[in-house]
Structure formats: C-alpha cells, structure tokens
Structure 1
C-alpha cells in the first residue's frame, strides 16, 4: 500500500466517512443519493405561492433538478447546517449541468447570476455563502451553453433565518430586508438576471430578491434551484 493509501485508511479510522444522504459507510455521498440531481431541469414555480409578489407581478419562472425529499434533503441539510463542505464540489457539478440547460433557454446576451443571500448569522455559521459557490457553477454552465454569465453577490439580507417558518411568516421575515449592495446599485440597470438558490420552498426569498433587483433597473428572467419542496401529497420531476 502506498503512503497515500495508508494515510487515507488512517483518516477513515479517525474520522469515519458516511454518505450524507443514506448514512452508508465509507462514501461521502453515494451514487444512488446523488442520482436525483443528474437529470434534466424542470419548471416548478407553480409550487410556490409567494413568487407572484402577492399578485403584483406574473410568477417568476423557476427551474429545478429534484424534489427536496429523502436522501437528497438529508444531504443538502448536512451541507448547509452540519459542516459537510465535502459536498460542495458534487453539488456545484450538478449546478454546472443545470446552468448549461437553463442558459440554452435564455439566449446569447450576457447574464448576471445572483445568489439569494443568507442571513448574516447563517453565513457566519457556514463560513461564507454556500449558495454563492453554486452561483459560480451555474454561471459557468450558462457560459458553456452560449449565454455569457458572471456570478455576483449583489444582494444582502437582514433578519433571521427562514428555517421552520410558514409561507406568511417567511414573507414577513424578508419584507424590506433584502437589498442591493450600495456599490452595485448604479450598475444593475439593464442587467439580465438569473437568480440562484439552493431550495425553492414558498418562493418568498426569490420574490424579495426579484423586487430588490428590479427596483434598481434589472430584469429578472427566472431562477434556478437545486431542489424544490413538493406540495403535500405530491411529487414531480
């Protein structure tokens, strides 16, 4: 066995690896648990009642890769909230593919891929913006599809986390708390924007992001997520 092999075995003894989705030993994320992210993107905006800005605007098109259920849900929660940063690379790879598919639908003019901002507390716990890393991957996929894209974190958010809140409370928690960074306000006019988030739940986050961006002259074409929460009693995809 090589020296690298010995160190790998020692590492597994000291820090056992388990699949973030199903708990299988000796693999960080098994192929079966990753499989839902390998298919084509599909539209899911009809699931999110808060995407229409309370009736003020047409619902935003949202593309996603999978239902936020079972092992995929477990893996995304482990990545976001339990320090499983080893999942960033495979999640980003899935987002490159998704960005390629969506970019092919959005034409050849330049795009700005904007990650939905997390609360300051969440970013401190996670050591930065994990969704921002997915935005970089999505931009690379869009660019490869012929829609030149740049990822930029132009939004900031105040207020608490959204976890555990219902649709109405999510909206109230975000109302007026998502804003464009001061340094970016003057250069958004005329920009074509693709929003990026990890999971679509009620749509409150994406609606608040859209409102903030369009207030400064951007056009939000749609949004892309890794997963979408299905309505009670039904799944699709």
Structure 2
C-alpha cells in the first residue's frame, strides 16, 4: 500500500545539492557552516511548554482547553506541536520548504516523533498533508512527506502519501484571515477510502497556524472512512492561535 520512501523528483535532489554548494549550509541555531542543524543544537530549539490546550496545543492560562476549543473545537481529535513558530524553528521551516534543505527533515522529524511519543495516542497510519501536483512538480518534493517518513521510521508506523490528495490548487494561506483560510481549502482534498477505511490516521505537517488546512484534510479523511484523525506538526503559530481564541470570545 505505502511506498518505501518519500517521493523526491530528480530536479529537487539536484537543486538541493547545487544550493548546498553555492550557499553552504549553516546551522539554524549556532550558524556554524557545514550542516543545517548541529546535533548538539537540537536540544536548544525552543519548545512549547505546559500548560497547553489539550485539543490544539496553544498555550493556555487556565483549564484543559483554550477558549477557542471550548466554543468551536477544531474538527480533529487533537493537534500536537513541538515548538512555537518563531526564531530558529521558523528559519528551519523556511529552509526546508524554500531553500531545499531536505536534510533538515531527519532531525526535525525526530523532534516531532518525540513529541508524539510523549503526548500522543495509538494510531495506525501516518499521512502527510499533500501539495497540489503543480506545486509538487515546481518544488520537487513535499516537506510534509519528508517529515512524515522521518516520524514513521522513529515510531515504526507506515506512511502513505497516496492516501490523501489535493484535488484543487489553493492560494497561499499566509496572507489570509481565519474565515478566508477555511474557504480557501474547503473541498481541496480527497481521501482514498480503500487506504484509510476504519483506520486511526495521524496527519503530519510542518506548521499549524489556524488549523484550517488540517481541518480540511480531516474532513476528507473522515469522508473516506477514517475512524479518527489526529494531527502532528513541528511548529504552532502561537500568536495566530491566541488571536483566533480572542475572535472566539476570549
């Protein structure tokens, strides 16, 4: 059912190697030349710390749930995230996505897997949030798929990047508000029922901002017969999450 590793188009590998030669990698934490993330710098990356919302992982002051999840919970069983989307973590995500620093996926995936080991529940299958085929061809790889395979190896779980597909190209979410984000990705995904029927699915992505993309993926997976849908991301856009809580009545 699942493939044996992440799909990376040939030009994705070639451009990654070329950029490494042209602009030698520098650690996103200490800036030392030679690697995108030094092993000794991994523990220095910031982490989200308790108390966190049990549903969406934004920081909370009191109680198990943030105000947003009390009023209008995300349409997933829960979201787990490792770090706030700022500083060296933001830089790492940018390099992974846009500087073709594909080697970052392994140490970052290890961090994500550790988060799930500490705060996760049993699941059957890992599914990366997919790119539209046109964007995948342009980039040469899907960063969520690279992270998903790293997580799968660490947790000894199967990864299926064909279980969920993006059937409609969408605008970049970055500049959109909450409702615009939800409208933008509504109906943009379709699940393969023969691959997810009755299964507990773990979605993997690089960043959760408002959760709109993860919700749209979860809707598609549930329509395909998935029993549960959880999400796991490297980073959580904490500022955006707090603003979302305020709009929900905090």
Per the normalisation by structure 2, the TM-score is: 0.69
The aligned runs of 1:2-17 (5 Å cut-off) are 15-17=22-24
Structure 1 CA distance, aligned partners of 2:43 and 2:236?
15
- Answering whether residue 159 of structure 2 is matched by residue 151 of structure 1, we say yes
Q: What residue number does 2:31 align with?
A: 24
1:40 positional shift: 8.3
- CA shift in 2, pair 1:36/1:196, >3 Å: farther
Deviations, residues 111-136 of structure 1 (Å, cap 9, x unaligned)? 11111112333322321222112112
* Of 113, 123, 126, the match for 1:113: 126
* Of 217, 234, 237, the match for 1:209: 217
- CA shift in 2, pair 1:56/1:91, >3 Å: closer
Contact 1:195-1:224 within 8 A present in 2 as well = yes
Structure 2 CA distance, aligned partners of 1:19 and 1:165?
31
- CA shift in 2, pair 1:57/1:173, >3 Å: closer
Structure 2 CA distance, aligned partners of 1:56 and 1:76?
26
Q: Find the residue that maps to 2:176 and give its secondary structure.
A: coil
Deviations, residues 73-125 of structure 1 (Å, cap 9, x unaligned)? 012111101222232232233234334335xx424xx5111111123333223
Q: What residue number does 1:197 align with?
A: 205
Q: What residue number does 2:232 align with?
A: 224
RMSD: 3.4
- Answering whether residue 176 of structure 2 is matched by residue 176 of structure 1, we say no
Structure 1 CA distance, aligned partners of 2:30 and 2:143?
22
Structure 2 unaligned residues grouped into runs of 5+: 1-17, 60-65, 243-250
Contact 1:101-1:142 within 8 A present in 2 as well = no
Per the normalisation by structure 1, the TM-score is: 0.73
Contact 1:96-1:138 within 8 A present in 2 as well = yes
* Of 129, 140, 145, the match for 1:127: 140
